[in-house]
Chain A
């Protein structure tokens, strides 16, 4: 089942679909207010785009600089070429310290690597501490959004889950009550944790440290209580200078949720006293994307989620319709780059409206990438023989105007005479929810030619 089928299911619950759409549109509107509040907004986007372009084009240099400076700060640096290696490195580090209880703060990279099940299979207790992530973890679901993992759930859903796992009051779905319950539950986990794993928003080459942005404070509690802190970082998260953060910290939260900054923007340049800090630099297909000029820009993503919030298709189909770690426009292009065969419907889960490209703080031309990925799908023979044949035939007709005229003439003569039962049979996909246009007697060309006489 690809995106179309899953989206159709989501849409079938009309009321819930509109509820989801409104929730995400509201976040988009908050982003608009923040963006329109700064005269220099478009300039910030330009600079961000240029920083990322320069950095990706010299990524080897900056990664080596990062590693050198991180080591000088007493941070241990590891390199993982793929998901499997990343997971194995995490396990190795944990076992070396005898750590069996891990608290995690949000990291889409670790979702991509399917870290949790791997660690659990190896006897490690893994607790996701971001509230939205913890909720979906308890429900055994994937997050449906990279910033708002539980956006697809109503408070009643969360209430029921907490009743089951946290023993909260029956039918109490007040968000404050539930959040307090989660606080108590997770506080105990933080205090008893033997290690923590965080994602990385930005890795600074110049200083060798990593920056993590949260609202809940969970990344910091995790990284500052147990003595072992592991930070997993995709190679593309590197930025050259500390001062580059002045641009990105002004763009990130405003683009994500419309707030000027997250509650915490923590710069980790050392483990805690007596502790260890490890950074795992992960490739997992990213360095291959650099080779392709069409898709290289997707590595400029700072994971703000703005494109997801604005996408009219995402808002009406939900993150689980995409079947990839990350949904929405950025997910569709990254997913297509990673595994075109599995994700072949994703470049088509899009009307090319270009709203995404225009909210992206890094100015990634997302819609152009999805357009180009469609060509990759066809070149790989994944379009489907029927579709491809229809378009080949149509092209041939379009190269023969007399034939096109004749086909049009026949259609205009025959279609108006067909009974509804034939015209609106199951084969007419257009006709499922729309009437066909009225077929006129003459084409424009016929009228034009008649006029000239």
Chain B
């Protein structure tokens, strides 16, 4: 099984530790992982802003780079959702797209659905709040959503439960959006900040020491608020917890 590691553009530049943790998590499970170095961006910011032409160009580029891997794994729910849900507009019918669409996974989803590990060989003795990033949550089905009348489950919690000593907190609003929203964070900056502060406060009043999730963009946005307001809580990408960091 050859895995192509897909690292979101901004994570590559700004979050090398979380990106490296993703690689380590997969390698520690004995998997053969390669990071194709000419990858750049899946085109989500462009698509998000309605620039279909530009997004399409980057989609085509992405397909070329990743089509020959058995699986493509990324530490990002929103980038994976871009490929699985929104690439069809640009790549329907293209050679290799059907395989790409059905074999691109977010990291936790990949572990849960495909690898099914029984232990992560990691310990994380902290109170953790899970932030259910919207794209992973509602587009990829990472956990049951509060809106629907379907059996309760959480792939994220299931995988985190393989980490020793971890404790979960209960939030008031389990899956409300944090307000990052891509370019929304600057085009509707007041709203974005208001939503982010409310999310952070929910975790704070639930007693969380660490907020984690599968999307660095959400965490980056909320960490920015935490740093500005100097709040007693930290964000950490789930890959880092799974990789055994503390």
Q: Assuming A351-B177, A383-B49, A443-B12, is B38 touching A401 (CB within 8 A)?
A: yes
Query: Are A435 and B224 in contact, with the CB atoms below 8 A?
Result: yes
Cβ contacts under 8 Å, B145 to chain A: 355, 358
Cβ contacts under 8 Å, A388 to chain B: 51
Closest Cβ–Cβ distance, residue A365 to chain B (whole Å)? 11
Q: Assuming A4-B187, A398-B58, A401-B37, is B20 touching A353 (CB within 8 A)?
A: no
| Bound CA span A311–B224, Å | 23
In the complex, residue of chain A having the shortest beta-carbon distance to the beta carbon of B16: A444
Cβ contacts under 8 Å, B115 to chain A: none
6 A-B pairs, CB-CB below 8 angstroms?
Answer: A3-B188, A351-B177, A358-B145, A371-B86, A392-B54, A412-B13
Query: Are A437 and B14 in contact, with the CB atoms below 8 A?
Result: yes
Cβ contacts under 8 Å, B180 to chain A: 351
Q: Which of B49, B135, B186, B191 interacts with A11 by CB under 8 Å?
A: B191
CB-defined interface of B199-233 with A at 8 Å, one 1/0 digit per residue? 00000000000000000000011011101100000
Query: Are A349 and B149 in contact, with the CB atoms below 8 A?
Result: no
Nearest first, the 3 A-B pairs at minimum CB distance are A434-B224, A351-B181, A374-B50
Tell me if B's interface is mostly helix, strand, loop or mixed: helix
Cβ contacts under 8 Å, B188 to chain A: 3-4, 7, 313, 348-349
Kindly identify, within residues 1 to 35 of chain B, every residue whose CB is under 8 Å from any CB belonging to chain A.
Answer: 7, 9, 11-17, 19-20, 23, 35
Cβ contacts under 8 Å, B148 to chain A: 42, 358
In the complex, residue of chain B having the shortest beta-carbon distance to the beta carbon of A311: B177
Interface assignment of A436: CB less than 8 Å from any CB of chain B:
yes
Cβ contacts under 8 Å, A310 to chain B: 147
Interface assignment of B146: CB less than 8 Å from any CB of chain A:
yes
Interface assignment of A243: CB less than 8 Å from any CB of chain B:
no
Query: Are A429 and B49 in contact, with the CB atoms below 8 A?
Result: no
Query: How many of A's residues come within 8 Å of B, CB to CB?
Result: 74
Segment at the B interface, from A31-39, A101-109, A266-274: A31-39
Closest Cβ–Cβ distance, residue A179 to chain B (whole Å)? 31
Residues of B within 8 A of A (CB): 7, 9, 11-17, 19-20, 23, 35, 37-41, 43, 45-52, 54, 57-58, 61, 86, 134-135, 138-139, 145-150, 173, 175-177, 179-196, 198, 220-221, 223-225, 227-228
Cβ contacts under 8 Å, B52 to chain A: 375, 378-379
Cβ contacts under 8 Å, A358 to chain B: 138, 145, 147-148
Cβ contacts under 8 Å, B223 to chain A: 435, 437
Interface assignment of A377: CB less than 8 Å from any CB of chain B:
yes
| Bound CA span A350–B177, Å | 10
Inter-chain pairs besides A8-B190, A351-B180, A394-B46, 7 sampled, C-beta below 8 Å: A11-B190, A357-B138, A358-B145, A433-B189, A433-B190, A437-B15, A437-B224
| Bound CA span A3–B188, Å | 8
Query: Are B16 and A440 in contact, with the CB atoms below 8 A?
Result: yes
| Bound CA span A34–B16, Å | 45
| Bound CA span A317–B192, Å | 11
Cβ contacts under 8 Å, B184 to chain A: 348, 350-351
Q: Which of B54, B57, B193 interacts with A433 by CB under 8 Å?
A: B193
| Bound CA span A12–B173, Å | 23
| Bound CA span A371–B227, Å | 31
Closest Cβ–Cβ distance, residue B92 to chain A (whole Å)? 14
Cβ contacts under 8 Å, A7 to chain B: 188, 190-191
Closest Cβ–Cβ distance, residue B173 to chain A (whole Å)? 7
Interface assignment of A180: CB less than 8 Å from any CB of chain B:
no
Most chain A CB within 10 A, of B16, B38, B139, B173, is at: B16
Interface assignment of A177: CB less than 8 Å from any CB of chain B:
no
| Bound CA span A328–B101, Å | 31
Segment at the B interface, from A48-56, A225-233, A445-453: A445-453
Q: Assuming A391-B45, A436-B224, is B138 touching A353 (CB within 8 A)?
A: yes
Query: Are B176 and A312 in contact, with the CB atoms below 8 A?
Result: yes
Query: Are B12 and A429 in contact, with the CB atoms below 8 A?
Result: no
Query: Are B220 and A432 in contact, with the CB atoms below 8 A?
Result: no
Cβ contacts under 8 Å, B15 to chain A: 437, 440, 444
In the complex, residue of chain A having the shortest beta-carbon distance to the beta carbon of B184: A351
In the complex, residue of chain A having the shortest beta-carbon distance to the beta carbon of B17: A440
Q: Assuming A316-B195, A378-B52, A444-B12, is B40 touching A401 (CB within 8 A)?
A: yes
Closest Cβ–Cβ distance, residue B53 to chain A (whole Å)? 8
Most chain A CB within 10 A, of B23, B40, B195, is at: B40
In the complex, residue of chain A having the shortest beta-carbon distance to the beta carbon of B37: A445
Interface assignment of A359: CB less than 8 Å from any CB of chain B:
yes
Query: Are A378 and B50 in contact, with the CB atoms below 8 A?
Result: yes
Interface assignment of A264: CB less than 8 Å from any CB of chain B:
no
Q: Assuming A411-B13, A444-B7, is B134 touching A376 (CB within 8 A)?
A: no
| Bound CA span A374–B54, Å | 13
Cβ contacts under 8 Å, A8 to chain B: 189-191
Closest Cβ–Cβ distance, residue A34 to chain B (whole Å)? 10
| Bound CA span A408–B15, Å | 12
Closest Cβ–Cβ distance, residue B200 to chain A (whole Å)? 11
Cβ contacts under 8 Å, B41 to chain A: 394, 398
Query: Are A430 and B186 in contact, with the CB atoms below 8 A?
Result: yes
| Bound CA span A434–B146, Å | 29
Query: Are B20 and A17 in contact, with the CB atoms below 8 A?
Result: no
| Bound CA span A391–B189, Å | 18
Interface assignment of A417: CB less than 8 Å from any CB of chain B:
no
Cβ contacts under 8 Å, A32 to chain B: 146-147
| Bound CA span A316–B150, Å | 28
CB-defined interface of A250-278 with B at 8 Å, one 1/0 digit per residue? 00000000000000000000000000000
| Bound CA span A36–B150, Å | 9
| Bound CA span A264–B227, Å | 53
Interface assignment of A170: CB less than 8 Å from any CB of chain B:
no
In the complex, residue of chain B having the shortest beta-carbon distance to the beta carbon of A382: B50
| Bound CA span A315–B187, Å | 18
Q: Assuming A316-B195, A388-B51, A394-B46, is B173 touching A447 (CB within 8 A)?
A: no
Most chain B CB within 10 A, of A3, A353, A378, A401, is at: A353
Cβ contacts under 8 Å, A446 to chain B: 16
| Bound CA span A210–B175, Å | 38
Closest Cβ–Cβ distance, residue A287 to chain B (whole Å)? 25
Interface assignment of A165: CB less than 8 Å from any CB of chain B:
no
